[in-house]
Structure 1
């Protein structure tokens, strides 16, 4: 990939429904669904269902999945609260809360609600910040099982929540500056003809992948070397596989779903569904290695 392609979202926004596209398009055009036709004649714009007054609810499928994700997350938070002796219970709940916030923001950023331009940009900044911070919390959960610091203690919670808050604020600031052009630095970089934003590319695309990779490595070592078990790896591998399938639908297959169906649905619906299933698998994995019958290393 050439240096001019690094940080470039133009093809992503043309072929997929991504929240970041809301703040990378010219002001005044963000009240339409992401995946804008202005990005090229090959773009497929979600049409959804009409609400009257030339307004559409573009991404009804994703909205329904996000609603299911919100209910599922609340259930998992309740189940986690009941596992009072489980290692990393509070830290896992922080991860679930992050996913809860992502699901709410997703409704308003890629759901295609006919929102005010500035409102959508504000939700988008919170969405991108929540994604970066939640993946950071997931990585921290990978460290909790090693008991470097007693889990659930004020110090442990402060380290996880404090570092995640720093990631949230940093990513949110870059996204807000990109969308509203407070300083002119990030917006000038974004509104170029190639729709590049290196800072958000790192924070929104690369950081979550790095955090997830570290989480999987840490947990695999914990299960195979410390607990000396193989069964929980089924859930861990399942979580990674489901997340990967969701990304394939979002970045590769989306445009091929959208065109034949005349914009009724695209890969974002499937990506939201597989992300939800991946989070459920992560919770099942965590639950399986915190049962009372595991040996203490």
Structure 2
């Protein structure tokens, strides 16, 4: 379908695909002729090798993906090294999932898995499932501090794992059913996928942010961690704005070398890094942090561990 502007319509990806080359754009469209919606402006590709060679799409974004994987590895290492930190085993799951999501995005955005491939729709469904499940895993970590279950115990860990897997499975099924036209799902009217991809994901991040604000305000004398999580949330929001509102302007100003996805990936990485900084700032062993109002040092081992 030719590149053009589309008005925003709830339940349709056409507007977003006209702004940015999302991985699912070739698979969903209100265009009855198929083919998806192309972005009005997108980053130029590079060719590796001779003719015909290999085309690599979004090269600048791929560099940020590699940086993101390195930084995530460093954060995971530091989290795992904080043996007495409360919620250590729960929060590290989020970072592992972010890393896997980044790997899937790297394979799809780069064109290594071509959109013409039979496997493309399955990888996109897996990528969407991982992305949504990662946001949900973050939300689950937002409840750890309220001690609904003692952190680090099988009850806490497996409840998050199972719930996250269920969200992943449901999201991947909705995506595949939409792409393949199974049952009531179809690519011309992907409202179910739209809800889980945009509405549910954003809701998870927002609720997590609100929960952490409540937790800090009610239990900590030091309110500086609010700044950390607020900056992280603002980075996430800025990334969405760069991708879905200003991508075309960025692309034109940069003469097609980058587009909104470049800043979207950077802002997402910075947001994830601020989540780590927030968690690190409220899990110091000398920190008094009690939901019940009683002072307790976080040692990560005893029955009085308070997140």
Q: What secondary structure sits across from 2:118 in the alignment?
A: helix
Quote how far apart the aligned CAs of 1:150 are. Answer: 0.4
Report Cα offsets for 1:89-145 as digits up to 9, x if no partner.
111011001101110011122233362422222221111101110111111111001
Report Cα offsets for 1:8-46 as digits up to 9, x if no partner.
11011011132221421589987xxx9626xxxxx1243
Compared CA separation, residues 185 and 118, structure 1 to 2 (3 A): farther
Quote how far apart the aligned CAs of 1:54 are. Answer: 7.4
Cα distance in structure 1, aligned partners of 2:32 and 2:68: 31
Q: Does 1:207 find its partner at 2:207?
A: no
Compared CA separation, residues 55 and 178, structure 1 to 2 (3 A): farther
Report Cα offsets for 1:47-78 as digits up to 9, x if no partner.
31123427521211111111111111111111
Cα distance in structure 1, aligned partners of 2:107 and 2:97: 16
Q: Which moved more, 1:220-229 or 1:154-163?
A: 220-229
The answer for the alignment partner of 1:14 in structure 2 is 18
Give the aligned CA root-mean-square deviation in angstroms.
2.3
* TM-score (structure 1 length as normaliser): 0.87
The answer for the alignment partner of 1:36 in structure 2 is 38
Cα distance in structure 1, aligned partners of 2:44 and 2:53: 11
Alpha-carbon contact 2:113-2:120 (below 8 Å) kept: no
Report Cα offsets for 1:132-187 as digits up to 9, x if no partner.
10111111111001111001111111110101100000000111122233x25322
Greater RCO, 1 or 2 (C-alpha within 8 Å, sep 6+): 1
The answer for the alignment partner of 1:94 in structure 2 is 93
Paired residue total: 279
Larger gyration radius, structure 1 or structure 2:
2
Q: Does 1:155 find its partner at 2:148?
A: no
Q: What secondary structure sits across from 2:77 in the alignment?
A: helix
Q: What secondary structure sits across from 1:185 in the alignment?
A: coil
Q: What secondary structure sits across from 1:50 in the alignment?
A: strand
Gaps of at least 5 residues in structure 2 are 1-7, 291-307
The answer for the alignment partner of 1:238 in structure 2 is 231
Cα distance in structure 1, aligned partners of 2:177 and 2:32: 13
Alpha-carbon contact 1:28-1:117 (below 8 Å) kept: no
Q: What secondary structure sits across from 1:72 in the alignment?
A: helix
Cα distance in structure 2, aligned partners of 1:7 and 1:13: 13
Q: What secondary structure sits across from 2:204 in the alignment?
A: helix
Q: Does 1:169 find its partner at 2:169?
A: yes
Q: Does 1:197 find its partner at 2:190?
A: yes
Alpha-carbon contact 1:227-1:295 (below 8 Å) kept: yes
Report Cα offsets for 1:189-240 as digits up to 9, x if no partner.
x23xxxx311111111011111111111111111111123211111111101
Cα distance in structure 2, aligned partners of 1:227 and 1:257: 41
Q: What are the residue-to-residue correspondences of 1:220-231 with 2, within 5 Å?
A: 220-231=213-224
The answer for the alignment partner of 2:84 in structure 1 is 85
The answer for the alignment partner of 1:40 in structure 2 is none
Compared CA separation, residues 262 and 117, structure 1 to 2 (3 A): farther
The answer for the alignment partner of 1:179 in structure 2 is 179
Gaps of at least 5 residues in structure 1 are 38-42
